[in-house]
Structure 1
Amino acid sequence: MEDPAPPVVPASANGPRWRYYDLVMAAFVTILILSNLIGAAKPSFITLPDGTDWSFGAGVLFFPISYIIGDVLTEVYGYARARRVIWTGFAALAFMAFMAWIVVALPPAAGWGGQDAYEQVFGNTWRIVAASMIAFWVGEFANSYVLARMKVWTKGKALWTRTIGSTIVGQGLDSLIFYPLAFYGIAGWPPELLWQVVLSQWAIKTAWEAMLTPFTYLVIGWLKKREGVDIFDTATDFSPFARTQG
């Protein structure tokens, strides 16, 4: 598979105003919020050819798209601007958790019978909220860091190696952190199910990334041409807490 067409001009992270950066950020935050709100706490399963049921977290079907967008952000706009988006997503998750806590805690109006269902869907425990936010923070920063470093090492060649390689690291950390922190020791989540879900999450997320590699190539190539840049993080401060300029 060929790499995306060369961009117009290499640039630093302090380039001009971007035409599509805000739209990519919006897509990232939207998918992040919805995948955590709708699919994170539900285990599902598929039946393997030998008749065995293999369990996985339902959110795995959509959450990996946020990592693909994270790859696009780092590859096109550089680590510094990807860092800004990661912090934006983190703030959005925090607000979602705060809003859910307030709304669930409000007393229901007389005659409304949906409180129990509402609490079951939106009343995530502090463990799930904390696990989700920690796993996201660690996984996304690891994903962006690995991709940015690999881009310099490979001199911008073999895009697929860094999109998949960064996903193996980032999604692996995400799954390894989230499920044990959120569900270990909880009824309905025996250890064997928990670790099966962790491993299946990791495998499915990585497989998703690999399957969508042609799409990732198209998006990255198109954005580089439209934005006219190709950012290499050769002198970037990779601290998650560094100030992002521009």
Structure 2
Amino acid sequence: MSKSYQHLDSITALFVAVLLISNVASTKIVDFGWFTFDGGTLLFPLSYIFGDILTEVYGYQRSRKVIWLGFCSALLMSFTLIIVGALPPAADWHYQTAYEQILGLTPRIVIASLIAYFVGEFSNSWILAKLKILTRGKWLWSRTIASTLVGQLLDTGIFILISFTGVVPNSLLLTLIVSNYLFKCGVEILFTPATYVLTSWLKRQEREDFYDVNTNFNPFALKESKRSTS
């Protein structure tokens, strides 16, 4: 029988909420001090922090389910916004142009977002799980930061290159990639103490500290592996 957890549902809900809100906020490009990035970048790094916590405490196969839930939720939201935008507006509703400019997602943006999310999140979770075994559960900071450096690089690079190549000047393309990447990784590093506190608290509350020794890391696997805890 599967083990039940007190807080897994709450973390899952927060993870999906952060993902969806970030996708909507990404429709605006902002200047933030030295950085130029899409608005979703302000919140999106939290999804990687939640992803780190999920994998560290509950293991890769639990995290895999949450990542897929986020993927399906983002896909549903994107299709809904596209369909609503394509429907004819009511005669006395005069905001169709505004809707299309802000929420009128193109297939290119949707594809870029989903591919980037899939590759980035699974890379992040896989690296953290592997490093936990390699470090024998020590040096959490090294796992969260290393996994984020790789996951965010893939996520940011894939999304911006697919979304904006040929749409914005190459100079802005590079600026977006660098600014997004540095800001996201910086947030992860700054939140490391909070990640330590929350992770330690969850491990005590859930009585779980999962090690993915026998885990099947195929992101498409449905069968759960034998669980191994410390």
Under a length normalisation based on structure 1, what TM-score does the superposition of the two structures give?
0.89
Deviation track 1:188-212 (CA, whole Å, cap 9, x = no partner) reads: x111101111011111111000000
Unaligned ranges ≥5, structure 2:
226-230
SS of the counterpart of 1:237? coil
Q: How does 1:1-246 map to 2 (within 5 A)?
A: 16-38=3-25, 40-48=26-34, 54-186=35-167, 189-245=168-224
| C-alpha separation in 2, matches of 1:25 and 1:245 | 18
| C-alpha separation in 2, matches of 1:118 and 1:111 | 15
| C-alpha separation in 1, matches of 2:186 and 2:2 | 34
Deviates more, 1:191-200 or 1:75-84: 191-200
Q: Could you tell me which amino acid in structure 2 is paired with residue 208 of structure 1?
A: V
SS of the counterpart of 1:124? coil
| C-alpha separation in 1, matches of 2:198 and 2:2 | 20
Q: Larger RCO: Structure 1 or Structure 2 (Cα < 8 Å, ≥ 6 residues apart)?
A: 1
SS of the counterpart of 2:30? strand
| C-alpha separation in 1, matches of 2:208 and 2:58 | 8
Unaligned ranges ≥5, structure 1:
1-13, 49-53
Under a length normalisation based on structure 2, what TM-score does the superposition of the two structures give?
0.95
Q: Which runs of 4+ in 1 moved over 6 A?
A: none
| C-alpha separation in 1, matches of 2:53 and 2:14 | 12
Q: Could you tell me which amino acid in structure 2 is paired with residue 131 of structure 1?
A: A
Deviation at 1:244, TM superposition (A): 4.6
What count of residue pairs does the alignment treat as equivalent? Answer: 225
The 8 Å contact of residues 81 and 244 in structure 1, kept in 2 or not, is answered as no
Deviation at 1:15, TM superposition (A): 5.3
The 8 Å contact of residues 82 and 106 in structure 2, kept in 1 or not, is answered as no
| C-alpha separation in 2, matches of 1:120 and 1:43 | 13
Deviation at 1:41, TM superposition (A): 3.0
